[in-house]
A = this chain, B = another copy of it.
Amino acid sequence: MALTSRRKKATAPQVDLEALPGYCIRRLQQIAVAIFLQEAETVGITPVQYAVLQQIANSPGIDQRTLARTAALDTSTLAGVVDRLEARGLVMRNASPDDRRVRLLTLTDAGLALLESAVPRMLRAQERILEPLRKRERAEFMRLVRVLITANNELSRAPSEAV
């Protein structure tokens, strides 16, 4: 039978998703978010909202562009996050006196209070995420993840940048 006459029955490539780093990382992210939301349920914030509140607390009066970099968020994504935090009265958005394009962010008293009550719950969530690993494995996992992040930092539109 000549090759050309053989009906090319396209055989679907069989791939096990569990073996793919990208798939496993997505699963891990889903789980980490679920744990955070469980722990922070009474506070009512998401992981990203926590990160934004925390960075504003770390650097009061920060502008949105810098905040986006330090929280690893796209500026357009950050705009939405800050919108929601502002609507809940947790964050103030004030125009900069020096540059009218810039909007400076500060926590309100309510935002600070919420952040303070969120921190222990956030820490508990972090512990739970790594709990299945032995102590030494946890450190090794974090080391490996940080290598991956640092080396590939520039690849996403929101490259992280230390403050």
Residues on A close to B: CB < 8 A? 10, 12-15, 17-18, 20-36, 38, 47-48, 51, 54-55, 57-58, 60, 70-72, 107, 109, 112-113, 115-116, 119, 122, 125-126, 129-133, 137, 140-142, 144-153, 155-158, 160, 162
Q: Is the CB of A157 within 8 A of B36?
A: no
A24, B138: Cα distance in complex, Å: 13
B23, B31, B126: the one contacting A148 at CB < 8 Å is B31
| Chain A interface helix/strand/loop/mixed | helix
A101 to chain B, nearest CB (A): 26
Could you list 10 further interchain pairs (A-B, Cβ under 8 angstroms) beyond the known A24-B146, A26-B47, A141-B141? A10-B112, A10-B116, A15-B122, A21-B32, A24-B145, A30-B72, A34-B157, A129-B152, A132-B150, A133-B144
User: Would B21 and A126 count as touching, CB distance under 8 A?
Assistant: yes
Q: Which residues of B contact A47 (CB under 8 A)?
A: 22-23, 26
A158→B119 contact, CB < 8 A: no
* Complex-state Cα separation, A32 to B26, whole angstroms: 9
Interface pair B157/A54, CB less than 8 Å apart: no
| Cα distance, A87 to B115, chains bound together (Å) | 44
Contact status A28-B71, CB under 8 Å: no
- Could you tell me if A57 and B109 are in contact, using CB atoms closer than 8 angstroms? no
- Chain B nearest CB: distance from A22 CB in Å? 5
> In the docked arrangement, what's the CA distance between A158 and B71, Å?
27
